Structure 1
Amino acid sequence: MYKIILFFLPIFVFSQTNFEKGEKLFNQKKYSEANVYFEDCLKSNKNDYKTIEYLGDIAGYYKNWDEAIERYKLLKEKFPKNANYHYKYGGAMGMKAKESNKFKALGMIDEIEESFKTAAKLDTKHIDTRWALVILYLELPAIIGGSEKKSQKYADELMNISKIDGVMAKGHIDEYFERYNSAEKYFLQSVSLTHSATAYKRLINLYNKMKLFQKAKVAQEESDKYNKE
């Protein structure tokens, strides 16, 4: 018995070492190098689901959507109650649809929508999924399910989960429909809540779109003050 354990121990240690090296490189955003270690790790254990997720994330970073979809599909089918896997699968599908011709993209819409809605049901506080649904329903033509009302529904849910995300989502919707004055109010609110570079960027982009260049300049100066490197 002990001989059997000692025989498998080097393989286990090797696999763990590969995973740890890959994870460290991934966290350093050295994705290409991390990918090599994760691939080796998967050879030792094809059911290492965390490694599969990392490989899906790396594939997505490099816009290898087919590989990312394959990785996430395996995960969501293995763990159907995991909201994040449904979200990532829908996201990879959505990005592939954007790069496909219109007819192919149309055939993918239902699955993308269902993946995001499933993730939202499984996790009532999943912020990224609700952002995805806000954007999906804004960009879809009305004839195939696009609707401001649906976008606003998920923006309202965001407001209940995270005020800053809700405010930004409301501003995003108003900006999309060129209700710039209303969008400005939301983005100003988001700036007052966080003073983050992201909030200022949305406000500055809006001012540039409105050709309010002096306001954009003032907002940039404020952003620089609050977001010093």
Structure 2
Amino acid sequence: MKLLLSVFFIFPLFLFSQSFEKGEKLFVDGKFKQAQPILESYLKSNPSNLKALEYLGDISAYNKVWDKAIIYYKKLKTLKPTEADFFYKYGGALAMKTTEVSKFKALGMIGEVRSSFEKTIALNPKHIEARWALIELYLQLPGIAGGSESKAIRYSTELRELSPVDGYLSRGRIEEYFNRYSDAEEQYKRAILIGKSKVCYQKLADLYKNKMKQPDKANKVWEEYKNKKQ
């Protein structure tokens, strides 16, 4: 009788485990549409499962369903307030939601966006993406709402200490934003010397082509990149 009772209780748990593993595999394989209903079903019986919540939040973010992503990420940071990435993802979803609402409502959300990224860095002082997010936030916000070039530069300087390539790329982004194209050019060239990645070359080539109106220079940048890849 005891054996039968054990089987009775364990068998549903086994099925739930199998269900989650199937949903997780589909998610990892990028089959989000198939993974979503399986993970949603699993979550109904396991509402505090961090992985299921994160996967569903990521699926919602991928589909740009920001309201759902916000709900999932908010629950994640509540369940595990020591995990930096949960605050980062929550702040990112909130930031994207601000692009879909009125300017008045968006301004009311900015404080929480900013504090989420700041909390991310407090929990993980080496978090690179949160600093990038704050740089963009301070660039895009009007001064009256908290925009600040000096604060953007501060986070760019911090980035350079953590990752020189990101530091130079972010400083280039700041200079380009304020139409100081020669300064941006210098920063992107420094990034290329260190990083030598496609992203670095892309930033410089785009600057030449789209902002400085020098397509010949842009072509030379890509030629240099292709030659280095060979």
Could you tell me the TM-score, scaled by structure 2's length? 0.93
- The question of 1:220 aligning with 2:222 is answered yes
- The question of 1:75 aligning with 2:79 is answered no
- Residues of 1 paired with 2:161 and 2:101: CA distance? 35
Shift in Å at residue 225 of structure 1?
4.2
Shift in Å at residue 219 of structure 1?
1.3
- The question of 1:28 aligning with 2:67 is answered no
Shift in Å at residue 80 of structure 1?
1.6
1:183-208: CA deviations, max 9, x gaps? Answer: 11111121222221211111111011
Give the match for residue 160 of structure 2: 159
Match runs of 1:105-116 below 5 Å: 105-116=106-117
Shift in Å at residue 78 of structure 1?
1.6
Aligned residues: 228
Q: CA RMSD in A?
A: 1.6
**Preserved contact between residue 197 and residue 227 of structure 1 (Cα < 8 Å):** no
Letter of the 1:106 counterpart: L
Give the match for residue 119 of structure 2: 118
- Residues of 1 paired with 2:132 and 2:222: CA distance? 25
Structure 2 residue matching 1:108: 3-state secondary structure: helix
- Residues of 2 paired with 1:5 and 1:161: CA distance? 53
Structure 2 residue matching 1:29: 3-state secondary structure: coil
Shift in Å at residue 179 of structure 1?
0.9
Letter of the 1:169 counterpart: S
Structure 2 residue matching 1:63: 3-state secondary structure: coil
- Residues of 2 paired with 1:120 and 1:36: CA distance? 33
**Preserved contact between residue 204 and residue 221 of structure 2 (Cα < 8 Å):** yes
- Residues of 2 paired with 1:2 and 1:183: CA distance? 71
Give the match for residue 137 of structure 1: 138
**Preserved contact between residue 137 and residue 147 of structure 1 (Cα < 8 Å):** yes
- Residues of 1 paired with 2:225 and 2:16: CA distance? 45
- Residues of 1 paired with 2:88 and 2:219: CA distance? 37
- Residues of 2 paired with 1:163 and 1:197: CA distance? 16
Shift in Å at residue 57 of structure 1?
0.6
Letter of the 2:138 counterpart: Y
**Preserved contact between residue 196 and residue 226 of structure 1 (Cα < 8 Å):** no
Shift in Å at residue 5 of structure 1?
3.4
- The percentage of counterpart residues that share the same residue type is 45
Shift in Å at residue 106 of structure 1?
0.9
- Residues of 2 paired with 1:105 and 1:222: CA distance? 43
- Return 5+ residue gaps in structure 2 as ranges: none
**Preserved contact between residue 48 and residue 79 of structure 2 (Cα < 8 Å):** no
- Residues of 2 paired with 1:15 and 1:219: CA distance? 53
Give the match for residue 42 of structure 1: 43
**Preserved contact between residue 180 and residue 206 of structure 1 (Cα < 8 Å):** yes
- Residues of 2 paired with 1:156 and 1:5: CA distance? 59
Deviates more, 1:146-155 or 1:190-199: 190-199
- Residues of 2 paired with 1:63 and 1:213: CA distance? 34
> Using a 3 Å threshold, how does the CA distance of structure 1 residues 218 and 18 change in structure 2: closer, same or farther?
farther
4+ residue runs over 4 A deviation: 225-228
**Preserved contact between residue 158 and residue 165 of structure 1 (Cα < 8 Å):** yes
Give the match for residue 96 of structure 1: 97
Letter of the 2:66 counterpart: W
Give the match for residue 200 of structure 2: 199
Give the match for residue 59 of structure 1: 60
Shift in Å at residue 227 of structure 1?
5.4
**Preserved contact between residue 11 and residue 44 of structure 1 (Cα < 8 Å):** no
